[in-house]
Structure 1
């Protein structure tokens, strides 16, 4: 009985989230079922599918259509950085997806500077470090182009090591 009440309360709560969770129970029963006679890989079953659309001003646009960076810009940004002083780590989420370029808005800097960010997996991209208000432990916002170059999912909260060039 408690499960039914909890499930009903959860469904009602999530249905009030502006359509972001239109069916909160979609796929729950299928996670443990074999597909085409083969059992699901545990990592694939546990990882949610990445959205292919980013909401901008009430209209959904693909991440690829919003990212206007050229191949030359991507290659330059992902080239090995010259090194620099590590400023600390931050948890970053997607910033304004319509703002082009490779940047990180972070409280770890007090003035704009060139730098780089490194994922826990070792991927590195060079970015412009842009200051925002807040304590150094506050989160940061990263550009769509930088997230894609680092192979970070658009809905992920990524732990990044931030360095100044």
Structure 2
């Protein structure tokens, strides 16, 4: 019988315009957690996420190496939260300096080559800063030539 009374009481209060306030009055404590306020800043832009300086971007372009070719790989955007110029790829077994070149434009950028597990034909992940220097769309899969050395 108590359960039925509680259900009827709740059902009656839920029909009220301010049922949460009514329940708080009955029980003396907030019933539901408050919703967090919306963030006023809006969505993050690539420019806001890329923490590299213009000088760092210029240095990465001018110091792109012409080292030993490791091969071609299809790259997607890596984590935008990870700063710097890097390529995570199965084409290397140890972290080493290198460069990537986008063959259609010929643009190249110096990067740190970071090994990932998988066959050499598996895809790679390229940093936000490197993709911006190459001038490629961040949502595209791009084919790049990878070189060791720098």
Instruction: Give the deviation of 1:82 after TM superposition.
Output: 3.8
TM-score, with structure 1 as normaliser: 0.63
Task: State the partner residue of 2:90.
Answer: 107
What residue number does 1:74 align with?
Answer: 57
- Cα distance in 1 for partners of 2:75, 2:53 equals 23
Larger RCO: 1 or 2 (CA < 8 Å, sep 6+): 2
Q: In structure 2, what is the equivalent of residue 143 of structure 1?
A: 127
More moved, 102-111 vs 80-89: 80-89
1:60 corresponds to: 43
Indicate the structure with greater helix content: 2
Q: Does structure 1 conserve the Cα–Cα contact (< 8 Å) formed by 2:65 and 2:110?
A: no
Q: Is the 2:102–2:108 contact (alpha carbons within 8 Å) kept by the matching residues of 1?
A: yes
Number of residues of Structure 1 aligned to a counterpart in Structure 2: 107
The aligned counterpart of 1:89 is 72
Gaps of 5+ in 2: 1-41
Structure 1: 4+ residue segments shifted above 6 A? none
| CA root-mean-square deviation | 1.1
Q: TM-score, normalised by structure 2?
A: 0.69
Which has more radius of gyration? 2
